[in-house]
Copies of this chain bind each other. A is one copy, B any other.
Amino acid sequence: MESRCENCIIRQFNSLRAMSKEELKQVSDSKTTKTVKKGEPIFEEGDKLNGVYCVRNGISKLSKLSANGKDQIVKLASKGEVLGQRSVVSQETTNLSAIAVNDMEVCFIPKESINNTLQKNPNFTLEVLRHMAHDLKEADDVIVNISQKTVKQRMAEAFLYLQNNFGEDADGFLALTLSREDISNVVGTATESAIRIISEFKKMGLIHTSGKKIAIKDERKLLEMVEGF
């Protein structure tokens, strides 16, 4: 189960690819691998992180608790993504919780290895910077979406997002199955509203469902809905 970072395919997807052989070796020697069961936290809002987590398998939701007790899911992270980077870089406690949506396998990399490389290898730092720039752009998009689109439009968008980013299973259902509550927390609405809109989309023939699994039937109409008819 333990393996060397140097040989890890996952690395190709994230900033770690900019590390030198020696740096990778050091990371590999200091990393630990652990499994996280569905529903369990990798870390929680307010934690002081001693390193970052590289996702090898499974999906994690990054969320933030609001005053009224509801979670807002800010991002869904899958294979290859590095969690906790922001916190380690800025040396602050995390502003987000990371909770496993399904069973996960993650590598913990102590912050010393990261900070060391950040100070010495400009290519690595630049790579991390580019990733963060990308995340920031996405966050801006989310802000505009939430504030300017209706719940119905955001629901449609969420389904398309899930399809584009996590694909479909053999039967055409979205490969990532979220609870209705999680869906509502991605979209930023009440669970009941999310459920109601799912029903409505079914009646309109845009999607169909089987248990909590959802399949997209009419992608074009969903797209039109996102744009506002």
Question: CB within 8 Å of B: which of A81-136?
Answer: 85-86, 89-90, 92, 95-96, 118-123, 125-126, 128-130, 132-136
Identify which of B85, B123, B133, B148 contacts A67 (C-beta below 8 A).
Answer: B148
A141's nearest neighbour on chain B, judged by CB, is: B95
Contact present for B148 and A146 (CB under 8 Å): no
* 9-residue interface stretch from A68-76, A169-177, A202-210, A214-222: A68-76
Q: A147 at interface (Cβ–Cβ under 8 A)?
A: yes
Contact present for A86 and B143 (CB under 8 Å): no
Contact present for A72 and B125 (CB under 8 Å): no
* Given known A-B contacts A118-B122, A119-B122, A133 and B90 have beta carbons under 8 A apart: yes
Q: A142 at interface (Cβ–Cβ under 8 A)?
A: yes
Q: Could you pull out 5 A-B pairs where Cβ atoms are within 8 angstroms? A: A66-B148, A68-B228, A74-B144, A96-B140, A125-B125
Chain A interface residues (CB < 8 Å from chain B)? 64, 66-68, 70, 72, 74, 85-86, 89-90, 92, 95-96, 118-123, 125-126, 128-130, 132-137, 139-149, 188-189, 227-228
The 8 A-B pairs at the shortest CB distance, nearest first, are namely: A147-B188, A66-B148, A139-B139, A90-B133, A125-B125, A72-B144, A122-B122, A86-B133
